[in-house]
Structure 1
Amino acid sequence: MTEQRIGIIDIGSNSVRLVIYERTASGAHRVIDGSKRPARLSERIDDNGNLTQEALRELLGTLNHFRLICAHNRVGHIRAVATAAIRNAANRDEVLAAIQSESGIAIELLSGVDEATYGFLGMINAMDVQDGFLVDIGGGSTEVSLFQGRELVQSFSFPFGCVNLHRRFAAKGGMLTDEGLQALERYVAEAVAAVPWLTKYPSLPLIGVGGTARALGKVHQAAVKYPFTQTHNYPMTGLAVDNLFNELYRTPLDKRRKFPGLSKDRADVIVPGLAVMRLLYRTIKASHYRICGSGLRDGLFHDTRFPGRPKHQNPLAFSIQNLSALHPAVPQQHVMQVNRLALQLFDELHPSHLLANRERILLDAASSLFRIGGSIDYYEYAKHTFYLIVNSHLNGLSHREILMIGAIASYKSKNRVRQQLNDYKELLNETDFDTVYKLGTLLQLAAALDRSETQAIGRLEVEHAAGGQLLLRPVRFSGSLTLERQEVEELSSDFKKLWGTAPLLDETDYT
């Protein structure tokens, strides 16, 4: 795509959403605007199966509003899709023609398989997971996909979602009675039983995408007072979801609208949505739940922006590159040099630390991002780096790992780390703190070796010498290394306390 801004419009069965993505001059992608309007299209089907004229008028009003937002943002390309509510409407051709003539927006009508495919693409580009079941419970349909080795293997679209199930089985007051819930579960179980491959791959995670899954994550995080604000990549046990479902189910609708973490417009449909999710969980004999914050709209973005190669092999590498590019003021050559030296030092010291490859990944990320806070303020760049890392999208990592990367990248001292991570301490253990101290100090040493920011050291040899010294010998370098030598000396004592060896920049016979 040559356009710098893309608008994605998703006409769902429960809500209509707009997201505007921008490609910056440095090649980064970011969301710059968005809007959401409740629609409940799956509830607004008449006895003949037609979407009502009132619902169509409201939808046209929403789309014209979105078109104005896109025009205001100088969007070069709008991609609009419709899912189950319009797909299943008897008058869908009339609806699509009306949208085209009244708003000028051409709508792609997605099949159930299309929905599953784009949902999978959005998820797989945002998570480091090899195998699992992907479940997207929308307003009017539910897509279930099996993926293995990060490839989509099977998918099926069921013609029910949280909105049309609520309409069909809820009592007049909007609550599900015991009889209504049992009838809903029988209906869903019968449909699920007709898809035999769902029972053949036990002990895989159930990855939930879409509004029902995100709402589940938010409500559970509010209930347990979870300290990290992201729901993306949030794990939950089967028991935790069962307990939460039972509490929501028993809570009267007026009180449920005030339930911590739950938006008012989802208060009635959350129970049928979770009923479907629990039944699928039991059917596939899943190991646990995991909430994914990226889905259909993200998949459509990747498909539009990267035609022919929308799937990224390494979600973390892609998001690190993107986050770096969002901060073009950062001295890139310096950061690349520090990253290279940090990883070399990690590998050279491996016999003495025996940290796992996962820790190397944390160091790689931290040493690639440690200067991004400088785009806000150089003097406090470490503090801003921590904030930006913890509040940005680093995909393919657990919440614990994101916090550790933020602390490693902004490392100053043990006390500073304790202070920084105090609000999140329940997500970390003492071993994690020790890892942060060691890798943070290692990153400090790598940064000291390019203190002049001139990339003077071309090649470095590392030798474990007698007397507990770590000799750092620049085999190929240019200019003076006076600054670097002084910085390494200042770090030497703290480094030795953590690593058991004192670094010394040794230029003997190499000048």
Structure 2
Amino acid sequence: MLLERIGLIDIGSNTIRLVIFEIDEHFTMFQVQNIKTPARLFQYLDKKKKMSQAGIDVLIKVLKSFKSVADQYQVSVLMPVATAAIRQSTNRDDIIKQVRKATKIEMMLLPEEMEAFYGNYAVLHTTQFLNGVTIDIGGGSTEVTYYENKELQQYHSFPFGVVTLKQMFFDGKEHNDPKAIKKMQEFVKDQFKSIKWLSKKQVPIVAMGGSARSIANVHQRKIDYRLAGVHGYRMYKNDLQMTLDLFQSLSIPQLQNLDGLSRDRTDLIIPANVVFNTLFDEVKAPVFLFSNKGLREGIVMEFLNDKYENKAFSVYNIAAQSVSRLAASYHTLAHVAQQRVKLVDMLYEELCRLGIFDKNPEMEKLLHFGSYLYYLGQFVETGASSQHTFYIISNSDLDGISHKERVSIALLASFKNRSLFNQYLTGFTDWYTVTLIDQLQSFGGIIKFADALNDSHMEVIRDIKIIKIKNGYDLVLSYKGDILAEEYRAERQRKHIERLLSGKLNIIFTEC
């Protein structure tokens, strides 16, 4: 059910972008339209920060076009948000007046503290780190925040972005001029050092924005990364240096043909990479993480939380919300998924009691999510449910879940047999130990057996006990109702539990 259709126009210093979100009853944000133009409004500001009429005309032309698209989609809310280029213009009142008269659009001029707030808001609600530093580098400004225990503690807006850095250090020079790069590095380093709360925080850095996505995209292609999407993608100091060295070694025509790099960012990507490297050193960060959710998503998420009494997005239940929304997107029946999780929990508890597994909260989380999403790919095609399930989960942006966890959940939710499991694992074997691979395979078998115990979707199994006997084990299943379907499926899938117990399993159904 469609809850909202929201349009947001992000009027940045480098690009102007229209994004249209459809929000369903689960508060899943479906991006149904995303168009942009590299207007580069910042180049229309003179030395006194006054925007020329030519720049205003460009802005009006783009807004007219985007408004017609938004009208075609019949958005319930249109949010035109202006950031650094308009904010820093000395004639911003005249710009707003001309835009209003020509387009009937009332631009929301975002103060720098709110620009930092919304980017941070998106990160807090979509990533798993309790503490961190965020950075959102635009064309004319760079917003940096520090959060602790999921609460914003500090923010600062630097009056430079990728466009202004290019103007300051590369005017009349090559995009990769070594002396210009060195001067820019020194400038950015001094800027970061002036903010004392940034120094040696030793927390993860989360980067947002188009420049960050471009760097992550390029790195993924260079290492033949198997997963889709940059949300949650991790890089380290040597990775950031690798991309910077690559960008510096290429001419503009070569950069324009570089896989993963947007053509309109070829002359701006080196300043962005330098800013990220410098911040990494200043913070002494353990990891550099990319977020696909930033300013735009933060504005919409805060709007929805405000309108629906904070029911839309949580900062502490991120992963579970994300898994639930993915399941709903593929028409998974919630009561069936919940019963499967309940049965898996009962089996797991019994196996832990018998010493087959040691309790592990992190592994239990994967087990729960894999159980809930089991065979969601059957919505696409029943005959290839396993294959579709693995592909969908492993290539979906799951908020609050790392890429390794994503693959682990995909392996569990798609489990059909050991040969397919090993086929899916190809390309990811260096992520796992042999012990962990064996445990994931065992968990997959538990999920498949649990699914058999609710074959009728009537929730007839009420309790599970495993009892050690002389020649093996009795699996006692207490039930209420008709168990014809469950009896048949359980017998066919008993091998998955027998492998774990290394003994013969007798399945005994006992009526409650």
TM-score range, shorter chain: over 0.9
Residues in 2 aligned to 1:287 and 1:336: alpha-carbon distance in whole angstroms: 37
Residues in 1 aligned to 2:200 and 2:226: alpha-carbon distance in whole angstroms: 37
Q: Is the 8 A contact 1:205 1:287 kept in 2?
A: yes
Partner of 1:347: 349
Partner of 1:467: 471
Q: Are residues 1:439 and 2:443 paired?
A: yes
Partner of 1:143: 143
Residues in 2 aligned to 1:408 and 1:196: alpha-carbon distance in whole angstroms: 45
Partner of 1:259, secondary structure, is coil
Partner of 2:509, secondary structure, is coil
Partner of 1:306, secondary structure, is helix
Partner of 2:405: 401
For structure 2, list consecutive stretches of 5 or more residues without a partner in the other structure.
Answer: none
Partner of 1:117, secondary structure, is helix
Q: Is the 8 A contact 2:378 2:388 kept in 1?
A: yes
Partner of 2:475, secondary structure, is strand
Q: Are residues 1:492 and 2:491 paired?
A: no
Partner of 1:6, secondary structure, is strand
* Amino acid across the alignment from 2:317: N
Residues in 1 aligned to 2:414 and 2:505: alpha-carbon distance in whole angstroms: 21
Q: Is the 8 A contact 1:488 1:504 kept in 2?
A: no
Residues in 2 aligned to 1:103 and 1:430: alpha-carbon distance in whole angstroms: 62
Partner of 2:383, secondary structure, is coil
Deviation of the 1:137 alpha carbon: 1.3
Partner of 1:71, secondary structure, is helix
Partner of 1:353, secondary structure, is coil
Partner of 1:314: 317
* Amino acid across the alignment from 1:24: D
Deviation of the 1:459 alpha carbon: 3.6
Q: Are residues 1:262 and 2:261 paired?
A: yes
Partner of 1:204: 203
Q: Is the 8 A contact 2:5 2:21 kept in 1?
A: yes
Residues in 2 aligned to 1:409 and 1:502: alpha-carbon distance in whole angstroms: 26
Residues in 2 aligned to 1:107 and 1:458: alpha-carbon distance in whole angstroms: 58
Partner of 1:303: 302
Partner of 1:165: 165
Residues in 2 aligned to 1:42 and 1:68: alpha-carbon distance in whole angstroms: 25
Residues in 2 aligned to 1:466 and 1:89: alpha-carbon distance in whole angstroms: 84
When structure 1 is superposed on structure 2, of 415-424 and 151-160 the one drifting more is 415-424
Partner of 2:327: 324
Deviation of the 1:223 alpha carbon: 1.4
Q: Is the 8 A contact 1:383 1:410 kept in 2?
A: yes
Q: 1:494 to 1:108 in 2, by over 3 A?
A: same
Map residues 107-256 of structure 1 onto 2, 5 A cutoff.
107-201=107-201, 203-256=202-255
Deviation of the 1:466 alpha carbon: 4.2
When structure 1 is superposed on structure 2, of 410-419 and 368-377 the one drifting more is 368-377
Q: Are residues 1:362 and 2:361 paired?
A: no
Q: 1:482 to 1:504 in 2, by over 3 A?
A: farther
Deviation of the 1:324 alpha carbon: 2.1
- Normalised by the length of structure 1, the TM-score is 0.93
Residues in 2 aligned to 1:104 and 1:464: alpha-carbon distance in whole angstroms: 76
Partner of 1:335: 337
Residues in 2 aligned to 1:355 and 1:221: alpha-carbon distance in whole angstroms: 35
Q: 1:386 to 1:77 in 2, by over 3 A?
A: same
Deviation of the 1:167 alpha carbon: 1.3
Q: 1:504 to 1:90 in 2, by over 3 A?
A: farther
Percent of aligned positions that are identical = 28
Which string of whole-angstrom CA distances, capped at 9 and with x for unpartnered residues, describes residues 334-388 of structure 1? 2221111112222222232125211111111111111422222233322222222
Q: Is the 8 A contact 2:141 2:157 kept in 1?
A: yes
Q: Is the 8 A contact 1:171 1:180 kept in 2?
A: no
Q: 1:429 to 1:171 in 2, by over 3 A?
A: farther
Which string of whole-angstrom CA distances, capped at 9 and with x for unpartnered residues, describes residues 377-416 of structure 1? 2333222222221232211112121112112111111101
Partner of 1:506, secondary structure, is strand
Partner of 1:507, secondary structure, is strand
Residues in 2 aligned to 1:274 and 1:398: alpha-carbon distance in whole angstroms: 23
Q: Are residues 1:59 and 2:23 paired?
A: no
Q: 1:59 to 1:501 in 2, by over 3 A?
A: farther
* Amino acid across the alignment from 2:385: Y
* Amino acid across the alignment from 1:298: E
Q: 1:464 to 1:334 in 2, by over 3 A?
A: farther
Count of residues in Structure 1 that have an aligned counterpart in Structure 2:
505
Q: Are residues 1:289 and 2:288 paired?
A: yes
Deviation of the 1:301 alpha carbon: 1.3
Q: Is the 8 A contact 2:150 2:315 kept in 1?
A: no
Partner of 1:276: 275
Partner of 2:412, secondary structure, is helix
Deviation of the 1:437 alpha carbon: 1.0
Deviation of the 1:421 alpha carbon: 3.0
